[in-house]
Chains A and B, each alone.
Chain A
Amino acid sequence: MKLRKFKYYEPQGLEEALSLLDRFGHVAAILAGGTDLVPLMKQKTVQAKHLINIKHLTELDFIRGDSMLEIGALTTIRGIEKSDFLQKKCPLLRDTAGRIGYVQIRNVGTIGGNICNASPAADFAPALMVLDATVEIASVDGKKSASINSFFLNPGETILDKNEMITRFWIPRTDEGTRCIFRKVPSGNSSGLAIASVAVLSSVDKVSGVVREARIAVGSMAPTPIRCFKTEKLLVGEKISDEILNIASQKIVEETKPISDIRGSREYRIHLIKVMTKDALMDIYWRNLS
């Protein structure tokens, strides 16, 4: 499988990259790790006349922050998986990173690429959604920000304009007593793409067992990763019980639009998401007690 010809650029900094993007954005692609882009270009799904390799934008490779965590768009998946800093500050992202693809992909793939390609199966998406992350977007006109929860529009389509790129993610610190879990059933082939995935952030009162906060986001269950706001609302204020978990898992099915494809049937996805969500909530509940 060969790549079609394209013009190639290696901007030395963000400003130069953005100006190239402004000039060629409508027929250009940004190359970060290339683990999604290169196969798409080989299959001619993406036909870029100009390829902008942003490898010199090392200023976009960082993990830092305190009350507000910041992760640069060019941070590799492996860098997040192996980050001791995140182990303390945001274990959800670390756990999620470890479940993406396989090691050869994680070594070069980036968090920005995972999100920008807007796959319904992008594993970082549900995690960032329950964390209420903010996306920093840059263009020649300056910087702006958007909630990750309104970032995805369709498979492969985001709110990004042709001359815009993601530069960083802001992740607010979660409250004391809040726990997060990422669950995923990967497809059998080596790509490990999610048949279904769910991220849950929740806090449950230790004494009463009442749900104080619940955030749920799912992957591979709709044309984009989505937050299940209705299910969350239903859970808050309720005491954890088999009954409420059954009602909540049914609500998730109502909020999503799973399809049948080569990775799994609609019915299987519904089954998985119900089991995984219930299991995640139960897990948070029990870990809270112990």
Chain B
Amino acid sequence: MTKRDINICVNGKWYELAVEPYETLLDILRNRLGLTGTKSGCAKGECGACTVNIDGKAILSCLTLAVQVDGKEILTIEGLPKGAELHPLQESFVKHSAVQCGYCTPGMIMNAKALLNHNSNPSEKEVRKTLSSNLCRCTGYERPVKAILDAARIMRGKDER
């Protein structure tokens, strides 16, 4: 009996799960909850592909044990759209063709989401600094940077309305 019961809220829905202490949040999201939008890249905290939001902050799910997030609210890429409507960040990544193979994209978007949570009007420098922890090996950063700045602008407009 090594398993532990945890309660976590993922994308607005609460789950009660019995987890092994050595299972990571990434394991749980992908293998238990079937939320495969969150990617496993290096699995040791260097590539940012597994980035999710916990209580509105960006963290690496590959370095986080499931037992560490008991009682927390987790947001993954699957939790961003409202029904059929994509989140402005997702919409903007599509519009700017900021995706090539797409493997790093969920991590980038979730990192950007956390940035915009506390800074609705980031400078290009701030966006670039934030994205420095998301490794992209195909297309580079120009388009994701533009996409995030554009999404921030659109989201500010929505807030003001």
Decide whether A and B are members of one complex. yes
CB within 8 Å for A190 and B64 given contacts A103-B58, A108-B59: no
Closest B residue to A1 by beta carbon equals: B43
Q: Which of chain A's residues have a CB closer than 8 A to the CB of B60?
A: 35, 104-105
The secondary structure that dominates the A interface is: loop
Rounded to whole Å, the gap between the CB of A24 and the closest CB of chain B is: 14
A 28-40 binary contact with B (CB < 8 Å = 1; else 0) = 0001001100110
- Which residues in chain B, 1-60, are within 8 Å of chain A measured between CB atoms? 2, 4, 20-22, 24, 43-48, 51, 57-60
Indicate with 1 or 0, residue by residue over B74-92, a CB within 8 angstroms of chain A CB atoms.
0000000000000000000
Interface residues of B in 102-135 (CB under 8 A from A): 111, 114-115, 130, 132-135
For residue A42, give the distance in angstroms from its CB to the closest CB of chain B: 6
Give CA–CA (A192, B135) in the complex, Å.
Answer: 13
Q: Is the CB of B44 within 8 A of A8?
A: no
A42 (CB) vs chain B CBs: closest residue: B44
With A39-B63, A190-B47 already in contact, the answer to whether A104 and B58 are too (CB < 8 A) is yes
B63 touching A190 by the CB < 8 A rule? no
B63 touches A34 (CB 8 A): yes
Residues of chain A lying within 8 A (CB to CB) of residue B45: 35, 38-39, 105, 191
Residues in A neighbouring B4, C-beta threshold 8 A: 8
Q: Are B67 and A43 in contact (CB under 8 A)?
A: no
Which residue of chain B has the shortest Cβ distance to A10 in the bound complex? B67
Complex Cα spacing A35 to B51, Å: 13
CB-nearest residue of chain B relative to A98? B129
Tell me if B65 is interfacial: C-beta within 8 Å of chain A: yes
Contact in complex: A104, B51 (CB < 8 Å): yes
Question: Which residues of chain A have C-beta atoms less than 8 A from B46's C-beta?
Answer: 189-191
User: When chains A and B are docked, how far (Å) is the Cα of A35 from the Cα of B63?
Assistant: 6
Is B68 an interface position by the 8 A CB rule?
yes
Residue numbers in B under 8 Å from A88 (CB-CB): none
A68 in the interface (beta carbon within 8 A): no
Q: At the interface, yes or no: A89 with Cβ under 8 Å from chain B? A: no
B63 touches A102 (CB 8 A): no
Of A4, A35, A101, most buried by chain B (CB within 10 Å of CB) is A35
- The answer to whether residues A102 and B51 also contact, given A4-B22, A35-B45, A189-B46 and a CB cut-off of 8 A, is no
Using C-beta atoms within 8 Å of the partner chain, give the interface range for chain B: 20 to 34
Task: Decide if A38 touches B111 in the complex (CB within 8 Å).
Answer: no
Total residues of chain A contacting the partner, CB 8 A: 31
Give the residues in chain A near B68, CB-CB below 8 Å: 31, 34, 53, 55
Q: Complex formed: what's the CA distance from A51 to B22 in Å?
A: 10
Quote the shortest CB–CB distance from A225 to chain B (angstroms): 21
Partner of A190 from the list B21, B43, B114, B132 (CB cut-off 8 Å) is: B132
A6 close to B (CB within 8 Å): yes
**Residues of A contacting B134 in the complex (Cβ-Cβ under 8 angstroms):** 190
Known: A8-B4, A8-B67, A55-B68. A104 touches B44 (CB 8 A): no
A146: chain B residues at CB < 8 Å are none
Q: Given contacts A7-B2, A105-B45, A105-B60, is CB(A38)–CB(B65) below 8 Å?
A: yes
* Contact (Cβ within 8 A) A39 B21: no
Chain B residues with CB under 8 A of A190: 46-48, 132-135
Chain B residues with CB below 8 A from A51, complex form: 21
Q: Shortest CB–CB separation between residue A62 and chain B, in angstroms?
A: 19
Q: Which residues of A contact B111 (CB under 8 A)?
A: 103-104
Separation in Å of the A195 CB from the closest CB of chain B? 16
State whether A107 touches B58 (Cβ < 8 A): yes
Question: CB within 8 Å of B: which residues of A?
Answer: 1-8, 10, 31, 34-35, 38-39, 42-43, 51, 53, 55, 78, 101-105, 107-108, 189-192
Seen from chain B, the residues whose Cβ lies within 8 Å of a Cβ on chain A are 2, 4, 20-22, 24, 43-48, 51, 57-60, 63-65, 67-68, 111, 114-115, 130, 132-135
What are 6 A-B contacts defined by CB distance under 8 Å? A1-B44, A5-B20, A51-B21, A78-B57, A107-B59, A190-B46
